[in-house]
Structure 1
Amino acid sequence: MGRWVKIVMMPCGEFLGRKWNLQDLVIATVLSSMHFLCLFAPFYFTWGAFWLAFALHMLTGLGVTLSFHRNLAHKSFRLPKWLEYLFAYIAVLSLQGSPIEWVSSHRYHHQYTDTQKDVHSPIQGFWYSHIGWIIDSSSRFGKGVRIVSVLHGTLLVNSAGHMWGKQAYNTGDLSRNNWWLAMVALGEGWHNNHHAFDYSARQGLEWWQIDLTWYVINILQAIGWATDVKTPTEFQKQRKVFNGEMVATD
């Protein structure tokens, strides 16, 4: 298998049979309750509620991708402090933790990508990388329909973004570019691009790679609110590009 690490599917029984502490149980209960409440959504459906949930989904999702991820974790651009705090507050409404919590675990992920030290790698199984790590305090540092949808949009980057898709750049890890994940996660699905150039405010590096978060950053830059916006040069991209894209196996 060369430099690639084999992805294993951790048996559900093995995960459930591990030692759980009180913190793990509380988080598991909260997550389970949120998903259970979503089952009642069809019985209380109204178009007003739908569009409100959609608007909040987009807003809080953008808070995570723009603030927690690209601004705070990678410092790929600067914002005025009042706007930086506003976006961070919006991100907190996604109930994915505090900025310090989110940023620290994400930086740790980049430092040890797809190794045993990675807090959420699919080498420990898809479900562990997707959501299991959140309810496993031994590996963690440091929700309605709208909350659940934003949560899984983010979590799919950790799991699917390292399993399915194509690699354009030689990053030495399992990160993949995945078009449908980019649609779900507001541009975060161009994950191989991100691991190749983690300092970049733009993840959809090709014109056809839709990156909604980058479009917002670009607007903020045009009006002078986003400054020191970092993107890779053509020379930097050519240094890391594969001779041809490699398709991931399922």
Structure 2
Amino acid sequence: MTAANRPVNGQQLSSSRHVDEFLSDAKERYMMSTQCPEVEPVAHEAQTKILKITSTNQAIKTHFPRGVDWKVATWIAVVHLGALAAPWTFSWAGLGALLVMYWLTGGIGICLTYHRMLSHRSFRTFPIVRWICAWLGGLAGEGSAIHWVANHRIHHAKSDHAGDPHSPREGFLWSHMLWCLQAMTVDDKNELHHRWAPDLVKDPVLRFLDRTFLGWQIVFAVGIFSVGYWAGGMPMAWSLIVWGVFLRMVIVLHATWCINSVTHVWGYKTYDNGDDSKNLWWVALLTFGEGWHNNHHAYQRAASYCHRWWEVDTTYITIRLLKLFGLVWDVAPIPPAAKQQLAAARLRG
């Protein structure tokens, strides 16, 4: 008889029974501990928090390699906080100041000057006109012409691909405003300006406006406050500065930012140009025609973004008027290729 077939004695059976009981008891205790509601959720919650913190830290390091530019962050915060006083400082004069300055700084300063004239060279004008319009663009609160144009040219070179400063593919809020908060060294900024806006860096007046950007905000605010005080005392002074500066600037900022974020997410595409740019009517309404963004990305140098009769472009209308008075010339037309593509699209239905 082999050892495997040999019967065990009583002591062996007893020992085996004790081992089985011990293992069974240990298994039961383990199962109870793993099912205990006080243990598992706490561990899971802690693990989730750790993962979120790690993910957030990684995102911050990726998007803000040099940290946050607290000067820009403070600037944006102050402007938004000032706008909160609007309900308590309303006046018709304040509303009028908002509308006039919205058009001058947003429509003329940003859309016509920073974007179409300086970024894309869609037309030419006299130096004095360029300088005055660039000064108005600075009062929009979006930075100097040199810095704005440099960032915008990068956007077009790398639109919705690696290196785009503000693509929604990196997150909607990132493309809308967080991208503005990246800290840059002086050397980084100089390299950005000289590489992407060398034509503007050569202009001494634009360099002066770049250096004195914040100073002009203060001068204008003091000026409009003084006019309000002279016209109607402190209530009028506060109304003009809250509505004509803070609230107006908030609206201009977010309208411009919607171009970077909203029109790369929602709307319709007329041209398949390799990025996410789209046309959206209500953004075009807010931004004097800039919301026909897919049209612009397809034919960047064209002065007009109105590729269909109902795509109203008020900035282009302004350019036409300036040309009529001899203030601008060499206005870049929509190329024939665009019309051919539109005709082909109509045939396809």
State if a TM-score over 0.5 links the two structures. Answer: yes
Matched residues in 1 for 2:162 and 2:343: separation? 26
Pick closer, same or farther for the CA change 1:69–1:110 going to 2, 3 Å: same
Q: Distance between the aligned counterparts of 1:16 and 1:27, measured in 2?
A: 22
1:98 maps onto 2:141 in alignment: no
Displacement of 1:243:
3.6
> When the two structures are superposed, what TM-score results if normalisation uses the length of structure 2?
0.62
In structure 2, what is the equivalent of residue 224 of structure 1? 326
CA distance in 1 between partners of 2:58 and 2:92 (Å): 39
Task: Point out the structure with max Rg over C-alpha.
Answer: 2
2:311 partner SS: coil
The answer for unaligned runs of 5 or more in structure 1 is 1-10, 245-250
**Selected match of 2:316 from 195, 214, 217:** 214
Structure 2 stretches lacking a partner, 5+ long? 1-51, 194-244
Q: CA deviation at 1:233?
A: 3.1
1:209: how far off?
0.8
- The 3-state SS of whatever aligns with 2:69 is helix
The equivalences for 1:74-223 within 5 A come to 74-137=120-183, 142=193, 144-223=246-325
Distance 2:259 2:163 in 1: 18
Percent identity (aligned): 36
Structure 1 residues 233 and 18, CA gap change in structure 2 (3 angstroms): closer
Q: 1:197 to 1:34 in 2, by over 3 A?
A: same
SS at match of 2:289: coil
Counterpart of 1:64 (choices 110, 130, 143) is 110
What is the CA-CA distance between 1:17 and the residue it aligns to?
Answer: 6.9
Conserved 8 A contact 2:67-2:183:
no
Structure 1 counterpart of 2:167, one-letter code: S
Query: Which 4+ stretches in 1 moved above 4 angstroms?
Result: 19-23, 138-143, 239-242
Q: C-alpha separation between the residues in 2 aligned to 1:230 and 1:187? A: 16
Tell me the equivalent position of 2:29. none
TM-score after normalising by structure 1: 0.86
Determine the structure 2 residue equivalent to 1:53.
Answer: 98
The match for 2:70 among 19, 22, 25 is 25
One-letter amino acid of the counterpart of residue 14, structure 1: T
Alignment partner, residue 42 of structure 1: 87
Task: Tell me which amino acid in the other structure corresponds to 2:178.
Answer: G
SS of the counterpart of 1:108? helix
Structure number having the greater helix percentage? 2
SS at match of 1:18: helix
Tell me the CA shift for residue 222 of structure 1: 1.4
SS state at 2:254 partner: helix
For the 8 Å contact 1:168–1:242, the answer to whether it is kept is no
Q: Which amino acid aligns with 1:26?
A: K
The AA in structure 2 aligned to 1:136 is Q
Q: Distance in 2 between matches of 1:70 and 1:230?
A: 10
For residues 172-220 of structure 1, the C-alpha deviation after alignment (integer angstroms, 9 at most, x for no partner) is 1100000000001111000000000000111122221111111100101
CA-based RMSD of the aligned residues comes to 2.5
Q: CA deviation at 1:23?
A: 5.6
For 1:108 and 1:241, the matched residues in 2 are separated by: 31
Distance 1:28 1:242 in 2: 47
